[in-house]
């Protein structure tokens, strides 16, 4: 019913390709988030679905009906905008009922629907106010109310929480999830905030440079990123990456090396690779959270310590080199440890990686080679590793 | 210091005071300038009133005050000529023109203000250039056209002389560019999101223009409308030449005033009275709408 299908959508402006051959199928009732950095084409993709922009190539289907050339009003969609876009010359009631009045619904039904939406969003007492008398969060609710009264097949949301303050944003995030559960309508959501994407979606489409990098459930994007871009974009703080080469049974980065069995991953001597490891998969040697399948200890010097309360971020300089001014990300390793761990700035520590969570990417294409690397010798059961191999 | 001041002549003391405390001088100059401008703008109206109140036989003896006061002229103007019909004609012509200018100007303003397309700026300049031509440049061809003297492919042009069309059409064409310019400036300032929202909610582009963009640009629309109305109401050139001066042939206000010139006598008092009556509607309109006009003109000027 409320499914959305994009077939090879391409949008070209004079000399820029904003969206490049994007094909996605969103099932009825799904909450799919398009996420990516500014200018990655996510908003243009959404505008194409809405009909506010015509694609240069490709077709849009909503609810199994081709709508590529239909105007926005005939597509059965509702949209919530980043700048909220309430009509300043109408009160809240008129704003919410705008679409219904245009479609000449009977007065009683309009009243009934507006009341129901107001109840869901708890804005019943605001109906006769003007938009400029509302707070940011209230305006956002009214904008959502305007979208839900028409009972569209698909909701489109373009960074709806971007203009709210941090606390309200987290609150509205849970409200949106609740709303999705209550209404069961398909939602396509655009954001540049990976936390919003992770928490609310059934699936995430990570976009970069006009192309979809990965379309998968949030945890898959997190645990098995399709390429280096996804790996670094999803997760906060982001994944550590190190350029390296395959040398015998080792992956050799500039300041350290990790032993493995490159053949299992189809790699040969001299292949250039990128190693990725998330901060929480780095552990201090000797702490209780040291993983079973640990790599050999890597001697590092601690640089900056950031206590967050529930965890501590430790910036490490691998190789034990001088922990002088090393702001360049390339040679820093970020580790997240338990707040009780005994670490201080500017001391020498040994850390290990959790092998099952070391990611390997092709250094040239950035494509993922493996999520979890094999131990060095053949004593391991190769199929165990093969299972995680992509 | 105090002894110095006492020794000075009054004139010198005043000069010294003015230098030490210039605020008083500024205040004084402000009043001088204000009174000067008030006199230069209001005196013609006073003079009109003086002439209008002077009885016909005493027009030769007018001083700074009327020799005798006879408000009868204000009644006589309606007796000698159907002056109310002339005023009505002017009103209708101005309203028709304003309506056409606002409607077409809104569409053009939307295009120039909200869409990007190749050649937008040159096209806007060409449109504006039309309003730079003196109206006289268009008179002869238009006169030929409206009197049925032009033949295109064997079809004779319609005779519009003595009808509102002969005036409303040139007025609309001449005053449209300014209206387009004002409206385009206003429409371009409405955020894209609002138009997008309206279109998603169920309007067409045109619907969004009329339901969202125009209501939010009310000061701009009022400015364009009032300016057009005033200019057309006061227009002389085409109003004088595109009809024969008879009230029943859509002759406007200016014809009415001029028609008090007899062949052998000039009823200046009647012409003055007619001028005062004729200017009243505009004066009222300006007073009512001036706040909007000022905010409209400055809003256009300040943004960008």
Annotated domain spans of chain B: 2-61, 73-302
Inter-chain touch A52–B200, beta carbons under 8 Å: yes
Torsion sign (Cα): B279, B282, B287, B290: negative
Residue A377 and residue A308 share a domain: yes
Count of positions (residues) in chain B: 304
Inter-chain touch A81–B212, beta carbons under 8 Å: no
Q: Give contacts of A155 with chain B, Cβ < 8 Å.
A: none
The residues of chain A scoring below 50 in pLDDT are 323, 326, 380-390
| CA separation, residue B190 to residues A158, A323, B50, B184, B218 (Å) | 19, 54, 50, 10, 12
pLDDT of B48 higher than 70: yes
- Please identify, among A232, A262, A282, the residue that sits at the C-terminal boundary of a domain: A232
Residue A189 and residue A108 share a domain: yes
Q: How far is B217 from chain A (nearest CA, A)?
A: 10
Position B21 scores a pLDDT of: 85
Domain B73-302 has CATH 1.10.3720.10: yes
Inter-chain touch B201–A99, beta carbons under 8 Å: yes
Inter-chain touch A77–B216, beta carbons under 8 Å: no
Residue A278 and residue A216 share a domain: no
Q: Which residue of A has its CA nearest to B196?
A: A52
Question: Which residue bears the tokens 């619904």?
Answer: A105
Name the DSSP letter for residue A55: -
Q: Using a CB–CB cutoff of 8 Å, tell me whether A103 touches chain B.
A: yes
* Chain B residues with at least one Cβ partner in A under 8 Å: 191, 193-194, 196-204, 207, 212, 215-216
CATH code at position A297: 2.40.50.140
Interval B229-264: pLDDT, tens? 999 998 888 888 888 888 888 888 888 888 888 777
Q: Which residue in B152, B144, B246, B226 sits closest to B182, CA to CA?
A: B226
> Distance between CA A306 and CA A308 in Å, rounded?
6
Query: Residue A77: which of B194, B200, B215 has the nearest Cβ?
Result: B200
CATH code at position A48: 3.40.50.300
pLDDT band at B4 (very low <50, low <70, confident <90, very high): low
Interval A119-132: pLDDT, tens? 888 888 999 999 98
Q: Using a CB–CB cutoff of 8 Å, tell me whether A71 touches chain B.
A: yes
Query: Residue A52: which of B199, B207, B216 has the nearest Cβ?
Result: B199
Q: What percent of chain B clears pLDDT 70, i.e. is strictly above it?
A: 94
Counting the structural domains of chain A, the total is 2
> Distance between CA B66 and CA B53 in Å, rounded?
7
pLDDT of B68 higher than 90: no
A164, A8 Cβ separation under 8 angstroms: no
- Please identify, among A195, A212, A232, the residue that sits at the C-terminal boundary of a domain: A232
SS3 of B256, please? helix
> Distance between CA A51 and CA B124 in Å, rounded?
29
Q: How far is A28 from chain B (nearest CA, A)?
A: 20
Give the mutation candidate from B117, B199, B202, B204 for the A interface (greatest A CB count, under 10 A). B202
Q: What is the mean pLDDT of chain B?
A: 86
- Please identify, among A232, A254, A288, the residue that sits at the C-terminal boundary of a domain: A232
Position A328 scores a pLDDT of: 53
**φ and ψ at residue A338, rounded to 5 degrees:** -65, 140
Inter-chain touch A79–B200, beta carbons under 8 Å: yes
Inter-chain touch A98–B202, beta carbons under 8 Å: yes
User: Which residues constitute the domain of residue A84?
Assistant: 4-232
Inter-chain touch A85–B215, beta carbons under 8 Å: no
Residue A213 and residue A245 share a domain: no
pLDDT of B303 higher than 50: no
Residue A127 and residue A157 share a domain: yes
pLDDT band at B151 (very low <50, low <70, confident <90, very high): confident
Query: Residue A87: which of B199, B207, B212 has the nearest Cβ?
Result: B212
Give the mutation candidate from A67, A76, A81, A140 for the B interface (greatest B CB count, under 10 A). A81
Q: What is the mean pLDDT of chain A?
A: 86
How is residue A177 written in tokens? 């999830």
Inter-chain touch A146–B201, beta carbons under 8 Å: yes
Residue A254 and residue A225 share a domain: no
């Amino acid at each position: 019913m409320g499914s959305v299908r994009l077939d090879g959508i391409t949008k070209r402006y004079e000399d820029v390709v904003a969206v490049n051959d994007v094909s996605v199928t969103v099932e009825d009732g799904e909450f799919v988030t398009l996420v990516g950095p500014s200018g990655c084409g996510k908003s243009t993709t959404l505008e194409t679905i809405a009909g506010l922009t015509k694609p240069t190539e490709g077709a849009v289907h909503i609810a199994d009906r081709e709508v590529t050339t239909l105007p926005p009003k005939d597509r059965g969609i509702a949209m919530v905008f980043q700048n909220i876009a309430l009509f300043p010359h109408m009160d809240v009631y008129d704003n919410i009922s705008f679409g219904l009045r245009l479609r000449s619904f009977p007065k009683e039904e309009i009243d009934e629907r507006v009341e129901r939406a107001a109840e869901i969003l708890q804005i019943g007492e605001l109906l006769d106010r003007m938009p400029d008398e509302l707070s940011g969060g209230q305006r956002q609710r009214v904008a959502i109310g305007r979208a839900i009264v028409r009972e569209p097949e698909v909701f489109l949301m373009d960074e709806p929480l971007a203009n709210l303050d941090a606390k309200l944003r987290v609150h509205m995030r849970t409200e949106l999830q609740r709303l999705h559960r209550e209404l069961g309508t398909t939602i396509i959501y655009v954001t540049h905030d990976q936390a919003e994407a992770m928490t609310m979606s059934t699936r995430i489409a990570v976009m970069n440079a006009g192309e979809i990098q990965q379309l998968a459930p949030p945890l898959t994007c997190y645990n098995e990123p399709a390429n280096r871009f996804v790996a670094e974009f999803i997760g906060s703080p982001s994944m550590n990456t190190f350029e390296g080469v395959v040398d015998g049974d080792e992956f050799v980065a500039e300041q350290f090396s990790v032993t493995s069995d490159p053949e299992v991953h189809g790699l040969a001597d001299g292949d250039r690779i990128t190693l990725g490891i998330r901060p929480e998969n780095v552990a201090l040697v000797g702490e209780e959270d040291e993983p079973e399948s640990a790599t050999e200890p890597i001697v590092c010097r601690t640089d900056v310590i950031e206590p967050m309360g529930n965890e501590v971020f430790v910036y490490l300089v691998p190789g034990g080199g001088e922990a002088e001014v090393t702001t360049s990300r390339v040679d820093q390793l970020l580790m997240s440890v338990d707040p009780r761990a005994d670490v201080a700035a500017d001391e020498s520590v040994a850390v290990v990686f959790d092998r099952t969570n070391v990611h390997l990417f092709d250094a040239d294409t950035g494509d993922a080679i493996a999520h979890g690397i094999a131990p060095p010798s053949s004593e391991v059961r190769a199929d165990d590793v093969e299972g995680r191999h992509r | 210091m105090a002894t110095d001041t006492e020794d000075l002549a009054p004139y010198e003391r005043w000069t010294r005071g003015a230098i030490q405390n210039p605020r008083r001088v500024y205040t004084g100059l402000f009043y001088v300038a204000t009174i000067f401008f008030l006199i230069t703008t209001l005196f013609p109206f006073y003079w009109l009133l003086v002439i209008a109140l002077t009885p016909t036989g005493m027009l030769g003896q007018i001083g700074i005050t009327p020799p005798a006061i006879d408000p009868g002229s204000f009644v006589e103007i309606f007796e000698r000529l159907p002056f109310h019909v002339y005023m009505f004609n002017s009103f209708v012509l101005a309203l028709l023109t304003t309506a056409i200018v606002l409607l077409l100007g809104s569409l053009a303003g939307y295009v120039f203000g909200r869409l990007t397309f190749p050649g937008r700026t040159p096209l806007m300049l060409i449109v504006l250039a039309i309003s730079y031509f003196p109206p006289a440049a268009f008179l002869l061809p238009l006169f030929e056209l409206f009197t049925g003297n032009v033949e295109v492919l064997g079809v004779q042009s319609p005779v519009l002389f003595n009808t509102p069309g002969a005036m409303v059409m040139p007025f609309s064409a001449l005053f449209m560019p300014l209206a387009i310019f004002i409206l385009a400036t206003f429409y371009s300032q409405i955020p894209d999101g609002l138009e997008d929202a309206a279109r998603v909610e169920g309007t067409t582009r045109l619907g969004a223009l009329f339901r969202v963009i125009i209501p939010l640009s009310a000061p701009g629309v009022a400015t364009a409308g009032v300016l057009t109305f005033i200019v057309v109401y006061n227009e002389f050139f085409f109003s004088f030449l595109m009809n024969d001066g008879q009230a029943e042939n859509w002759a406007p206000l200016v014809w009415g005033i001029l028609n008090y010139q007899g062949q052998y006598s000039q009823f200046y008092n009647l012409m003055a009275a007619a001028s005062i009556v004729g200017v009243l509607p505009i004066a009222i309109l300006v007073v009512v709408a001036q706040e909007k006009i000022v905010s409209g003109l400055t809003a256009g000027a300040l943004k960008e």
